[in-house]
Amino acid sequence: MVEGQPLLRVANAETFYGEVIHALRGVSVDVPEGSVVAVLGANGAGKSTFLKTVMGLLEDQPEKGVIEFAGRDVTRWEAERLVRLGLAYVPEGREVFAELTVGENLTMGGYTRHDREGLRADLARVLGYFPILGQRTGQLAGTLSGGEQQMLAIGRALMTRPRLLMLDEPSLGLAPRLVKEIFAIIRRINEEGTTILLVEQNARMALGVARYGFVLETGRIVLSGTVDELLANENVREFYLGVPGEASVKGFKRYKRKRRWT
């Protein structure tokens, strides 16, 4: 597979919570290999559900549609099988193993692997990204700051040596200085060969590292394209970047009335 071809392809995914909540409605997304793709949207739009559906964390979902990874149909595969295939997921809220040390958390990240030399090399790479973790290897993960826990969660995921790294709200709850640091690392991880699918409410930071993006609204994709195309869209500038457009008042009224973009 050459760079630029879809590493991940989601076609017409329909995800439900129980029999009532229709969380994803015909979502189709291609994630080109070697790229960073950003998923934008308000709270409740379905962004986290989309990542969990891809990662096999929702039982028997998607109910309809197809998910392909590296050319293989992986629809409704369990998460452990997907990790072995090359997917990694950093959930919203980090979810580090609080009662384990930093070093033990990183070791847990490589539990599916048996190549000791490769693991040592990847550990060195992770500590190169996040030197502070090297100073905290014996410290319990639950005692780390929020920013350090986010670094640990990303580092733990990288220990699986993923082809695709999926990040859910990596800037959540972090000070602006730490947000810039995390996103600089995300850019570096991508430049060194890892494809990234990024859910993020901080649209300015997300579009700063992404090549492509799409916007979810109530479980539907209402806008997609290259970053340049998204930045040229008045609705993106107005509602995600806070840049007033010439038709900002009319655009806001239209958004509130339709809750959809056209």
pLDDT in tens, 108-138: 999 888 898 999 999 999 999 999 999 999 9
108 and 205 belong to one structural domain: no
41 and 170 belong to one structural domain: yes
Spatial neighbors of 228 by CB under 8 A, at least 6 apart, are: none
Q: Is residue 62 part of a domain?
A: yes
82 and 133 belong to one structural domain: no
Q: Is residue 188 part of a domain?
A: yes
- The residue with greater pLDDT, 260 or 112, is 112
Q: State the burial class of residue 254 (Cβ atoms within 10 Å of its Cβ: 0-12, 13-18, 19+).
A: middle
Secondary structure (3-state) at 85? helix
59 and 170 belong to one structural domain: yes
Q: Which of 161, 182, 212 is the last residue of a domain?
A: 161
CA dist., res. 89 & res. 231, Å (int):
27
110 and 188 belong to one structural domain: no
Per-residue pLDDT at 262? 38
CATH assignment of the domain containing 195: 3.40.50.300
Residue 209 has pLDDT above 50, yes or no: yes
Per-residue pLDDT at 250? 52
Of the listed ranges 15-24, 96-105, 166-175, 244-253, the one predicted with least confidence: 244-253
CB atoms within 10 A of CB 9: 18
- The residue with greater pLDDT, 245 or 5, is 5
Q: Which of 145, 161, 177 is the last residue of a domain?
A: 161
Which domain, by its residues, includes 227? 6-86+163-258
250 and 215 belong to one structural domain: yes
Q: Is residue 195 part of a domain?
A: yes
67 and 182 belong to one structural domain: yes
* Number of domains into which the chain is organized: 2
153 and 74 belong to one structural domain: no
Report pTM: 0.88
Q: Is residue 1 part of a domain?
A: no
Q: Is residue 133 part of a domain?
A: yes
Q: Span 193-209, mean pLDDT?
A: 93
81 and 188 belong to one structural domain: yes
Q: Is residue 147 part of a domain?
A: yes
112 and 80 belong to one structural domain: no
47 and 120 belong to one structural domain: no
73 and 132 belong to one structural domain: no
Q: Span 212-229, mean pLDDT?
A: 94
Per-residue pLDDT at 114? 86
Q: Which of 136, 161, 186 is the last residue of a domain?
A: 161
Q: Which helix (H) or strand (E) holds 191?
A: helix 176-191
Residue 227 has pLDDT above 90, yes or no: yes
pLDDT in tens, 75-94: 999 999 999 999 999 999 88
